[in-house]
Amino acid sequence: MERILIVEDEEKIREELRTALEKKGYTCTLIEEFEDAAGQIVREAPDLVLLDLNLPVQDGFYICQEVRKQLDVPIIVVTSSSSDMDELMSLNLGADDYITKPFNMHILLAHISTVLHRAYGRKATVTLTHKGLTLDVLKGRISYQGRETDLTKNELGILRMLMENAGQIISRTDLICHLWEMEEFVEDSTLTVNINRLRRKLADIGLEDYLLTKRGLGYMV
């Protein structure tokens, strides 16, 4: 799995970003001492760098430039400044992409996978497993005890979000929002239909009562 190095001086963002990315299946390394951030990045040689601009000791621009001299690693600049100037500077100094805080996690993930794909040419296999059910996100296929079936885009989106947050109740609003993120502007009634179809598909491969309804709250697996 791809190793992502996070250069961010705000400890909480760093830690939470790691949790979020590890949940999506990436391995994360954090930089906690900023004396020689550029040197550390080069020594770690990660697959991708998430770089904040506002850092103690050396700023992001400098680090970006230094890393570029020695390493051809993809760099995504993550910053709270939304000025065009910063964006331009970053891209000129060799950053591959630019995203502003506060970012939407889905957007950040989309940027990460695009940059990785561009840099290494292969699409990572993303699979999620929970209670014996395996979901291959890129193929949109679920399998349980040797039995397989394909999911539609909406079903995949719903199941993916539930499995990524296994054991947690996800509200209908969050599920609809998640589908909207995927540019599928569904209505409330469509969600009900999709959930029912998904249940039937799960039952077909031998999983009854996998997707639970929590009355008044939402769904969970």
Partner 1 sequence: MSVWEYIKDKWVAICIGLLVCMLSAMFMLVMEVAMPVAVAVEVIFFAGFASMIGYDCFRKKTYYDELERTWEGLDEKTYLSEIIEEPGFYDGKVLYRLVKDNGKYLNDVIADQQREMMDYKEYVQTWVHEIKTPIAVERLLIENNRNPLTSSLEEEVGRIEGYVEQLLFYTKSGSLESDYLIQPVNLKSLVMEVIRRHSKMMVGAGVFPKMDNLDYEVLTDPKWMEFILGQILTNSVKYRDKKKRPFLFFTAEEEDGDMLRLTVADNGIGIPASDIPRVFTKGFTGENGRNLKRSTGMGLYLCRELCDKMEIPLDLQSRAGEGTELVLRLKRNRS
Q: Please, are residues 52 and 72 in contact by the beta-carbon 8 Å criterion?
A: no
Q: Which residues is 170 bridged to in the sheet?
A: 219
| Separation of alpha carbons 89 and 214, rounded Å | 49
Q: Is the peptide bond before 56 cis (omega within 30 degrees of 0)?
A: no
Smaller CB separation from partner 1, 70 or 83: 83
Name the pairing type of β-strands 3-7 and 97-100: unpaired
**∠ CA(36), CA(109), CA(107), 5° rounding?**
110
Q: How far is the CB of 8 from partner 1 (least distance, A)?
A: 10
Smaller CB separation from partner 1, 82 or 129: 82
Smaller CB separation from partner 1, 67 or 113: 113
| Separation of alpha carbons 4 and 112, rounded Å | 9
Q: How far is the CB of 132 from partner 1 (least distance, A)?
A: 22
Smaller CB separation from partner 1, 36 or 181: 181
Residue with tokens 């989106």: 157
Q: How far is the CB of 92 from partner 1 (least distance, A)?
A: 15
Smaller CB separation from partner 1, 35 or 183: 183
Of 21, 24, 23, 18, nearest to 125 (Cα)? 24
Contacts with partner 1, residue ranges (CB under 8 A)? 10, 12-13, 16-17, 19-20, 23, 80-84, 101-105, 165, 168-171, 173-174, 176-177, 180-181, 183, 185, 187-188, 217-218
Q: How far is the CB of 154 from partner 1 (least distance, A)?
A: 15
Q: How far is the CB of 168 from partner 1 (least distance, A)?
A: 5
Per DSSP, the residues of 105-140 read HHHHHHHHHHHHHHHH-SPPP-EEEETTEEEETTTT
Q: How far is the CB of 184 from partner 1 (least distance, A)?
A: 11
Q: CB-hemisphere CA count at 13 Å for 101?
A: 15
**∠ CA(208), CA(210), CA(211), 5° rounding?**
120
Q: CB-hemisphere CA count at 13 Å for 191?
A: 21
Q: How far is the CB of 165 from partner 1 (least distance, A)?
A: 4
Smaller CB separation from partner 1, 66 or 219: 219
Smaller CB separation from partner 1, 27 or 81: 81
